[in-house]
Structure 1
Amino acid sequence: MLNWDDPIAGFQLNQNVLQMQDDNLNARDTADDVISNNIVSETVSEKKQPQAVSVGDKKIVNGQGDINQLAPFKYPWAWNFFLNANKNHWTPLDINMTKDVQDYHHKLTIEEKHLYENVLAYLTTSDILAMRNIGLAVMEKMTAPELQIYQARQVYEEALHTWTYQHCIESIGIEQNEIYNRYRVVPQIYQKIQLANEYLDSVLKFDSDLSVRDNLEDFVYSYLFFAGVFEGCWFYNGFSPIFALQRRGLMTATAEQLQYIMRDEVLHCAFGIRVVNEIVKEENIIFDESRLSKMWSQCEAAEIDYANYILPEPILGYSANDHIEHFRFIANRRAKQLNISAPFPGAKNRLAWLDEQANTRKEKNFFETRVTEYQTGAALSWE
């Protein structure tokens, strides 16, 4: 085993004299030089030598390991998330938006345009919020580097998603100032963003000391909301109206963009849920059922208002009731993965077609929040 105190066998360091060699210096040392070197040597010898990092020192949060030393892994699953995420590469420029331009201007009904525009208005703001949440707050609180590295990739992906929505908006020719301001002026969209900000408040606090139990518990509840609801339910419900249009052969390029995003979000959700479960185990946290019930009730109410706004009247094959019930159905799945009580017992899968639609040719496993097959390249291959 490597001797950290004597890494080079036979090499002896004189602790009393720090010998400085320089070909450009005169070979003669003056008496003052010797005294100066002895002082420096004594100062160096008094500094504590860093010790080897133990895997046991690592924790999700509040760990004592070296955050700059990647291996040995305590959480190899986090590293595997990073490796898998790197297999899904694309930019929105890889998908030809020409057909969607034609569809939007000549085929969509007024109700379908309203739906399409407001879905994009919500998603553009949400992904920026997700990017800031991970990059500016959550990542900094992780004390195991293998988790931070995946989250660095996640920050990039959220930025890429924001670019994707922007590319769709710009390609189709939707007025940008108007659509980007909708979350501020449409109460039903603003309500969801504001509720997210409230639940993420403790996560976004830079100076939150997680060694304080109350702060730690607030952080876990916030992260549970972020992974289980914000990304785990609201994002997926945000995609399903576009997949409903795709099912009828409309806005297929936008839907394909969202299928790329879906592969990322599958991992984001699964990673966040895994992190919450690990912290709960490491820190012996017991959830307050009444606090969780309040969260689900508030999120359901916000989703109901949002669904009734984007779908005041049903479109062919999709309605507000379908959207709301799908939220409840997915919420139960997320709760099961988080080992907490199902918030909406008996919720039905009203969008039975969605699993097949979102997982075309087994590209993604949507409901199990894991990816069954990855492909790297400029475009999805369905073969």
Structure 2
Amino acid sequence: MKHNWDDPIAAFNGMNTNQSPLQDTEASLNSTTNRPTLSQHAAPKPVDVSDKRVVNGHGDINQLAPFKYPWAWQYFLNANKNHWTPLDVNMTKDVRDYHHVLTSEEKHVYEHVLAYLTTSDILAMRNIGLAVMEKMTAPELQIYQARQVFEEAMHTWTYQHCIETIGLDQKEIYNRYRVVPEIYQKIKLANDRLDTVLRPDIDLNQPDELDTFVHSYLFFAGVFEGCWFYNGFSPIFALQRRGLMNGTAEQLQYIMRDEILHSGFGIRVVREIVKEENLTLDEARLRRMWDECEAAEEIYAGFLLADPIVGYNKEDHMEQFRFIANRRARQLKITEPFPGAENRLTWLDEQSNLRKEKNFFETRVIEYQTGAALNWD
């Protein structure tokens, strides 16, 4: 069947695909009796940069420039330098490693990391796409966040691709977040914070509502993506350091680059809102957030690493969480929650500086010419 790209579903509706549906419209517009006329409304005034704000702005959301937040546009440009798909990575060795090399403890870690991530990235997508993006009143912010929504969907595809390629039971893996309490409690904590700002009647002109939104976004940028994701890939990277599950780990390296940008962008947005709206973050509220998130992570780590794997254990995982939490707090310009925390995984930052220097027969080589030079954190 020949496609009519003006109306690709016309054939299914019994329409004549040899005539463009635009022809009738054009004929109508060319008619002297139906010729359109200009609206009598006065043209709006040009956009003034000073009218732009992160939230509660009065600029034209449909007009990109002039920029008030050029750094947001730069985030968008940087994000496009890390473009990839899970099909670009060779997973052949992962299949052999999982079925013939990994110990039962390592399989436990691998499966439950994926079980947690599959749900987390959908939650992150919903947060940006439904709770955050529509509240931004400067288009340069929304454009990067549109890319972020796409990337979260890409990450979800990646986990599904790994699960399917390895030959795991998808129904069983995807349901683990619902039946494993140690995973569910982290997801619930995030869902509860999302629900506070997902209400259709939320009004950011109201100080209490704005305060709730800022603290929610701070959690997602600083903890959910900035700590839980960043630290959440570490068990798989520990396997990679021993030459195991290299394909999965390579994909997580690309995801890690995305998430570092997501976290950095969200943190910058929070700081801008605090400055523009003259807000004061609640220190007690922040302390409760860090304590709740640390407790949730410790319960999760205790389940995930009840039996440590070679080169990785619960204690290292938790100390690294605290170390990264301090880093995010410094970016947010708030008090470090865990003074003195040590960088236990000194090799972790190296994972975000991936270079495509690989044997062609080991993986499909894709040269990200500028991406490798970016400062991802």
Shorter-chain TM-score tier: 0.7 to 0.9
Q: Which amino acid aligns with 2:241?
A: R
Q: How far is the alpha carbon of 1:161 from its aligned partner? A: 0.3
Question: Tell me, which stretches of 5 or more residues in structure 2 are unaligned?
Answer: 1-28, 358-365
Match of 1:108 in 2: 102
Match of 1:94 in 2: 88
Match of 2:302 in 1: 308
Match of 2:209 in 1: 215
1:100–1:143 distance in 2 versus 1, CA, 3 Å: same
Q: Please give the per-residue CA displacement for 1:175-229, whole angstroms capped at 9, x wherever unaligned.
A: 1110000000000000000000112223322331101111001000000000000
Partner Cα separation in structure 1 for residue 179 and residue 149 of structure 2:
27
1:284–1:176 distance in 2 versus 1, CA, 3 Å: same
Q: How far is the alpha carbon of 1:52 from its aligned partner? A: 1.1
The SS at the match of 1:200 is helix
Match of 2:115 in 1: 121
Give the one of 344, 352, 365 matched to 1:350. 344
Q: How far is the alpha carbon of 1:330 from its aligned partner? A: 0.3
1:288–1:48 distance in 2 versus 1, CA, 3 Å: same
**1:137/1:206 contact within 8 Å kept:** no
Match of 1:4 in 2: none
Match of 1:6 in 2: none
Match of 1:326 in 2: 320
Q: How far is the alpha carbon of 1:355 from its aligned partner? A: 2.3
Kindly indicate whether residue 368 of structure 2 is the aligned counterpart of residue 376 of structure 1: yes
Q: Which amino acid aligns with 2:368?
A: T
Rg (Cα) greater in structure: 1
The SS at the match of 1:71 is coil
Give the one of 191, 199, 209 matched to 2:193. 199
**1:87/1:375 contact within 8 Å kept:** no
Q: Which amino acid aligns with 1:71?
A: A
1:223–1:362 distance in 2 versus 1, CA, 3 Å: farther
Match of 2:169 in 1: 175
Partner Cα separation in structure 2 for residue 321 and residue 251 of structure 1:
23
| TM-score of the aligned structures, taking structure 1 as reference length | 0.83
Q: How far is the alpha carbon of 1:253 from its aligned partner? A: 0.6
After the TM superposition, list the runs of 4 or more consecutive aligned residues in structure 1 that deviate by more than 6 angstroms.
none
1:82–1:360 distance in 2 versus 1, CA, 3 Å: closer
**2:356/2:367 contact within 8 Å kept:** no
The SS at the match of 1:73 is coil
Count of residue correspondences: 334
Match of 2:278 in 1: 284
Partner Cα separation in structure 1 for residue 32 and residue 86 of structure 2:
60
Partner Cα separation in structure 1 for residue 31 and residue 206 of structure 2:
55
| TM-score of the aligned structures, taking structure 2 as reference length | 0.84
**1:203/1:223 contact within 8 Å kept:** no
Match of 1:165 in 2: 159
Partner Cα separation in structure 1 for residue 350 and residue 31 of structure 2:
74
Partner Cα separation in structure 2 for residue 304 and residue 262 of structure 1:
21
**1:243/1:358 contact within 8 Å kept:** no
Question: Tell me, which stretches of 5 or more residues in structure 1 are unaligned?
Answer: 1-21, 27-36, 364-373
**1:88/1:375 contact within 8 Å kept:** no
Match of 2:62 in 1: 68
Q: How far is the alpha carbon of 1:23 from its aligned partner? A: 8.1
- Same amino acid, percent of matched pairs: 73
Q: What's the C-alpha RMSD, in Å, of the aligned pairs?
A: 2.3
Q: How far is the alpha carbon of 1:287 from its aligned partner? A: 1.1
The SS at the match of 2:233 is helix
Q: Which amino acid aligns with 1:60?
A: V
Match of 1:32 in 2: none
